[in-house]
Amino acid sequence: MVDTFLFDLDGTLLPVDTDKMLDEYFLSLTKKLSSYFDPHFLFKSIYQASMDMINNLDPSKTNKEAFFDSFLKMVNYPQEEIEALFEEFYLNEYKELGKNIMPNEYVKKSLEILKKKGYKIVLATNPVFPEIAIIERIKWAGLEEDCFDFITTYENMHFCKPHIQYYEEILERIGKKAENCYMVGNDVEEDLIAFKLGMKTYLIEDYMINRNSKKIVATQRGSYKDFYEFVSKL
């Protein structure tokens, strides 16, 4: 019996073009730190460290540890100081990136219905960002942190999408089996892979991503409105 819904964030709960948002993120961050690092060098270093983090399969390292293990090999700067600079960015300039994002009315309604019906709700966003950044984007979606029973961040997770170990770790953390869960997302590769564990999946098509033109295998698919109607009937 399904009693848990896992939700992706960017392009799912948060109605944005993910690639455009990432471009704006990198531009803003490199501009913020331009007095400390050459912007082109910083971009390449963050991107490479992020890819190393995504590809890391060492369960002894959190994603944050994997990121800084790679990043600090390229950037000769004390970790505590660079973390402080990143935090200052997330507390200030980062917030500006969300000022023109309009929450989708069906997203909030859908989560309210699921909460009212007693479902556990997990924010299964790709944990490549620190908690402070993810909480900020939750606000952009018109939601609150306490909407979720568990939130994946780069501090508390050891794997990233599209690795199946990411979903296995979530199940272990929340004490659920795959057959208890629905994974809701917009990325055909990163989100729908959860079906390999036995989860049901719902593809949100409004901001669908299918970079490698993979065959779409989903239990359900549709728009934000379609999803709202789906949960209303549960």
N-term to C-term CA, the chain: 12
Average pLDDT, the chain: 97
Residue 200's domain is classified under what CATH number?
3.40.50.1000
* 132-136, 214-218, 219-223, 230-234: least confident range: 214-218
Residues 89, 193, single domain; the answer is: no
Q: Determine which helix (DSSP H) or strand (DSSP E) holds 196, and give its type and residue range.
A: none
Which of 50, 68, 96 represents a domain boundary (last residue)?
Answer: 96
Number of domains making up the chain: 2
Q: What is the pLDDT of residues 178-220, one digit of tens each?
A: 999 999 999 999 999 999 999 999 999 999 999 999 999 999 9
Instruction: Show the CA angle centred on residue 152, arms to residues 62 and 215, nearest 5°.
Output: 105
Residues 114, 224, single domain; the answer is: yes
43 and 51 Cβ atoms separated by less than 8 Å: no
Per-residue pLDDT at 221: 98
Per-residue pLDDT at 101: 95
Residue 139 CB neighbour total at 10 angstroms: 15
Residues 156, 144, single domain; the answer is: yes
Mean pLDDT of 111-138: 98
Measured distance CA(213)–CA(26) in Å, rounded? 26
Residues 189, 80, single domain; the answer is: no
C-alpha Rg value of the chain to the nearest Å:
18
Mean pLDDT of 84-97: 96
Mean pLDDT of 96-119: 97
Mean pLDDT of 154-167: 98
Q: What is the pTM of this model?
A: 0.96
What residues form DSSP beta bridges with 60?
Answer: none
Per-residue pLDDT at 144: 96
Per-residue pLDDT at 113: 98
Which of 73, 96, 119 represents a domain boundary (last residue)?
Answer: 96
Which of 96, 127, 157 represents a domain boundary (last residue)?
Answer: 96
Residues 118, 129, single domain; the answer is: yes
- Range(s) of the domain holding residue 25: 19-96
